[in-house]
Amino acid sequence: MAFMSTIRLAEIAHARSGDKGNHANIGVIAYTAAGFEFLGRYLTETRLAEYLLPLRPRQVERFEMPGILAYNFLLRDVLAGGASRSLRTDNQGKVLSAAVLELPIPKPPNLAEMQRPDGATNQRT
């Protein structure tokens, strides 16, 4: 098997997550259009469902938000009861985004085109 070099998703995207009852969502926002296109291929519903399998989501659905270069993932019944009934510390899915940013993805050949421009603050114009 050929060795495949990987990077953390955090190198080319940022994210936020939260709850809706027993469902959670994770919005993953690419830093650049090249990254958005790349994630379209690699950050699929299947890939995310596999990564979060231990949390047993009933369904993972991906929606595109091309205007902000984002994919929104809706994870159904992933919170073990949600804010009111879940016994987990993270009963509202607040840290799912942090976990997803650690997800390993194949290292793209044009990685530099996907990273936040060096030296910039977090402002893009």
Partner 1 sequence: MLIRVGNGAGFWGDNLDAPRLLAERGGLDYLTLEYLAELTLSILAHQRSRSPDGGFVADFLTVLESLGPVLAAQPKLKIVTNAGGMAPVACARQAAQILVRAGLGTTRIAAVSGDDLLPRIDDLLAAGETFSNLDTGQPLGDVRPKIASANAYLGAAGIVEALAQGARIVITGRVADASLTVGPAIHEFGWSSSDWDKRAAATVAGHLIECGAQATGGMFSGWTPEISLQNLGYPIAEISEPGHFTMTKPAGTGGAVTVDTVAEQLVYEIGDPRHYLTPDVDADFSHVQLVQSGPDRVDVRGAKGNPAPPRYKVSMAYRDGYMASGTLVVCGDQAAAKARACGELILSRLKAAGVNLERTHVECLGTGDSLPGVWKRNDDALEVVLRVSVHDPSREAVERFVREFSPLVGSGPPGVTGYTGPRPKPYPVFAYWPTTVAREKLQHTVEVREAEKWG
Positions touching partner 1 (CB under 8 A) are 10, 14-16, 18-23, 25, 27, 29, 51-55, 63-68, 70, 72, 74, 76-77, 80-85, 87-90, 95-99, 101-102, 116, 121-125
Shortest Å, Cβ 112 to partner 1: 18
39 vs 70 by CB, closer to partner 1: 70
Exposure class string for 12-46: b at 16+ Cβ within 10 A, else e = bbbbebebeebbbbbbbbbbbebbbebbeeebeee
Write down the least CB distance from residue 85 to partner 1, Å: 5
Query: Which CB, 36 or 109, lies closer to partner 1?
Result: 36
- Tell me how far, at minimum, the Cβ of 11 lies from partner 1, in Å: 12
> Maximum distance among all alpha carbons in the chain?
47
User: Is 81 or 106 the residue whose CB approaches partner 1 more closely?
Assistant: 81
Q: How far is the CB of 21 from partner 1 (least distance, A)?
A: 5
Of the candidates 23, 32, 107, the one whose C-alpha atom is nearest the C-alpha of residue 72 is 23
d(CA 42, CA 55): 21
Indicate the residue among 38 and 79 with the shorter CB distance to partner 1.
79
